[in-house]
Structure 1
Amino acid sequence: MKIDPNSPGDLSAQIAAAIRDAIIGGDLIVDERLPSEAELADNFNVSRPTVREALKRLAAQSLIRTQRGAFGGAFVNRLSYQDAYNQHITTSTLLLGMNGVSFDTACEARFALERACATLSAERRLPDHLATMRAEIVRQAQPGLSDEAFCASDVALHRALVDGAGNPVMSYQLAGAVEAMQPLMNMITFTARDRAEIVRLHTSIADAAEARDGMAVSDALVELEAYTKALAQSVFAARAQNTATGSSAS
């Protein structure tokens, strides 16, 4: 494992990248103990605090774990899909919130990815996935449900549809789409949406999944996407009108 000491990049980031590449490349295997901080400092010709910072970066990515005691140290971690989900959701939320991705772009990506699961989910969904979707539909129909709870229920329903595909790689890829994009879209559209219409569309999705009709699931998602984009357009138009009215008044 080598770094370029003359590179303008952060040395701790370079070290973290070198160790990460060794893990991904199989040079360091799961549960293997990494060299000590002193050994790594000698290997990379840097200070121990620089190595310590690199290890913190790797731990934050769940690539390594540390333990204390006589047999302690830093060890290559076995990354779980749940860890990956959480990191992916956080990253997607930051990208969408900070990089000015348009609503239509996020909506298009989110539904295109979800439709990729439609056929598999219709074929493979388990009774538990259907039960979750049905329970969330009942919950969404409750008149006193808060906007926050409705959004959480919305995410849970689509999460069940995605997980029904029985493919953890697809579930991971869709974690950001469903659990990051969807809440951000809900924040924009919640003032204009008709909950009864969303319940109807969600019921169509659940009915199609229960009938193992992947095409019907996909068609219902297309309809939901069109409705979501129409809601956003109405919200943005109202905002523009209010801005124009305010400017005229001043």
Structure 2
Amino acid sequence: MAKDTEKKTDLSVQIAEAIKTAIISGELIVDERLPSEAELTEQFGVSRSTVREALKRLAAQNLIRTQRGATGGAFVNRLRFEDAYGHQITTSTLLLSMNDVDFETACEARFVLERACAPLAAARRSSDHLATMRAEIHRQSQPGLSDEAFCASDVAFHRALVDGAGNPVLSYQLAGAVEAIEPLMNMITFTARDRARIVALHTDIADAVERRDGGAASAALTALEQETQALAASVLASRAAARSNA
């Protein structure tokens, strides 16, 4: 592990990046104990507080874990896909909000990715995935359900569909699509959408997945995309008209 002393960035960031690089390259392997704080202090020529800050950064990324006691210290963690969902969702949300991605582009991306999962979900879904989808459809059908709760249920339904594909890499990649893009889309369409229509389309998707009919599940997702795009176009046109008349 080596530190680039030429960069004018915080030393703790440089040290954390050096250790992270060693983990990614395989120089440090899963469950391996990192050098002690004293050893890292000497190796990098910095204070112990700087080393501790670097270790905190790595722990926040779930790259290392710490253990107390005589056999304790900092150890390379086995990063699970589930542990990285949060970072994927946060990054996706920031990218969308900071780069002014239009609704049509975001919607297209989300449904293209989700349709890729539909045939796999139909073939591989477990009874638990299907039960979750059915439970969320039931929840969405309840009178008096708040817009916030409906949107959360919408996300949970599609999360179950994606996870039903049984592919952790796809689940990780689509975490941003389902849990970042979809909530942003809901912020635009929730005032205009017909809940009964959404529930009917979700039911079509769940029915297809239960029959293990990937083609029908994909077709139902396409119908949902068309419904969503039409709603957004209507809402955005109304907003534009209101601004022009103001």
Q: Deviations over 1:94-119 (max 9, x none)?
A: 32233322222221111111111111
Cα displacement (A) at 1:238: 1.3
Cα displacement (A) at 1:41: 2.1
Amino acid of the structure 1 residue aligned with 2:81: Y
Give the match for residue 234 of structure 2.
Answer: 234
Query: Unaligned stretches of 5+ in structure 2?
Result: none
Q: Is 1:102 matched up with 2:124?
A: no
Q: Distance in 2 between matches of 1:233 and 1:126?
A: 36
Q: Deviations over 1:115-164 (max 9, x none)?
A: 11111111111222222212211221112111111111111111111111
What are the equivalent positions in structure 2 for 1:109-148 lying under 5 Å apart? Answer: 109-148=109-148
**SS at structure 2 position matched to 1:181:** helix
Q: Deviations over 1:178-214 (max 9, x none)?
A: 1111111111110011111111111111111112111
Q: Distance in 1 between matches of 2:50 and 2:5?
A: 12
Give the match for residue 85 of structure 1.
Answer: 85
Give the match for residue 18 of structure 1.
Answer: 18
- What percentage of residue pairs aligned between the two structures are identical? 74
Q: Is 1:192 matched up with 2:180?
A: no
Cα displacement (A) at 1:66: 1.8
Q: Distance in 1 between matches of 2:10 and 2:222?
A: 45
What RMSD over aligned residues (CA atoms) do the two structures have, in Å? 1.5
Amino acid of the structure 1 residue aligned with 2:139: R
Q: Distance in 1 between matches of 2:104 and 2:50?
A: 43
Give the match for residue 60 of structure 1.
Answer: 60
Q: Distance in 1 between matches of 2:131 and 2:65?
A: 37
Q: Distance in 1 between matches of 2:196 and 2:170?
A: 30
Amino acid of the structure 2 residue aligned with 1:108: E
May I ask how many residue pairs the two structures share in their alignment? Answer: 246
**SS at structure 1 position matched to 2:172:** helix
Amino acid of the structure 1 residue aligned with 2:222: V
Q: What's the TM-score once normalised by structure 1's chain length? A: 0.92
**SS at structure 1 position matched to 2:27:** coil
Query: Unaligned stretches of 5+ in structure 1?
Result: none
Give the match for residue 178 of structure 2.
Answer: 178
Q: Distance in 2 between matches of 1:93 and 1:65?
A: 27
**SS at structure 2 position matched to 1:130:** helix
Amino acid of the structure 2 residue aligned with 1:124: R
Give the match for residue 224 of structure 1.
Answer: 224
Q: What's the TM-score once normalised by structure 2's chain length? A: 0.94
Q: Deviations over 1:31-77 (max 9, x none)?
A: 22111222112212223232222212111110011233333321111
